[in-house]
Amino acid sequence: MYKKIMTIKVGNLAIKLYEDKRVYRPLSVSKLMANCITLRGGEHVLDLGTGSGFLAIVASKLGAGSCVATDISPDAVAIARANAELNAVYNIDVRQGNLYEPVENERFDLIISNPPMTPSPRHLKPETYGGPDGRIVLDAVLKGAKDHLKPGGRLLIPTISIIGIDVTARMLTQLGMSYRCVGYAVVPFSRLLKNLEDYIKKLPNASIIYDRQIRPCWTAVVFEARLLP
């Protein structure tokens, strides 16, 4: 059914993924997040917005006891199931649905999510569109986390500077969570973001940095957050 396979290295792991143009191909933030996943072994993990299943597969390979991987896209759900099998990982339960709906009454030791965060005045593909300010899905993931974490559970969540890293930090505090930064990257704008540069510059929480070649770049941080007792 799927023709091409790509391989992504994460530490000593080589994750194989079928390619499908309809599903998000893991990019810089996905890889940054993959390198930030730590597990004690046997933990119950949620990967919300799993896309290809990449982060769920990494979590499983790193010793998750069980993993639920969800996505709003039926194409993503289909390929995530196929990719789990391709990597000989059999403890991932892939479910379709919006945000936390597929895990309504469940709690996890670790929630991972790399939500769509591209701010845009017009609708983009759901895999990247984060609403006019880029924060619609991210904020919903943050707000729902405390109802789906076990005591002592962790949330691993990225934020990019074009949607406000400090806004996420403040929200985590307001939600009663402590956090630390466990990953950081600087990434040049894609063609899509270059086309949106004038719009992004006007967003109140956005910040853009320019590299030595004067290319516009965004910074990404990965927060590991915990509920305060």
Ligand X SMILES: C[S@@+](CC[C@H](N)C(=O)[O-])C[C@H]1O[C@@H](n2cnc3c(N)ncnc32)[C@H](O)[C@@H]1O
Contacting residues toward ligand X, per CB under 6 A: 24, 26, 30, 49-52, 54-55, 70-73, 76, 98-99, 114-116, 126-127, 137
Which of 105, 110, 91, 118 has the alpha carbon at shortest distance from 48? 110
Locate tokens 């939600």: which residue? 175
For helices 136-145 and 165-174, the axis angle rounded to 10 degrees is 20
Nearest to ligand X of 18, 24 (CB atom): 24
- Spatial distance between the Cα atoms of 197 and 205, rounded to a whole number of angstroms: 14
Least Cβ distance, residue 51 to ligand X (angstroms): 3
For helices 54-61 and 74-86, the axis angle rounded to 10 degrees is 30
Least Cβ distance, residue 84 to ligand X (angstroms): 13
Nearest to ligand X of 71, 224 (CB atom): 71
Q: Which helix (H) or strand (E) holds 6?
A: strand 5-10
Nearest to ligand X of 27, 210 (CB atom): 27
Least Cβ distance, residue 167 to ligand X (angstroms): 18
Tokens of 47: 């990967």
Nearest to ligand X of 99, 210 (CB atom): 99
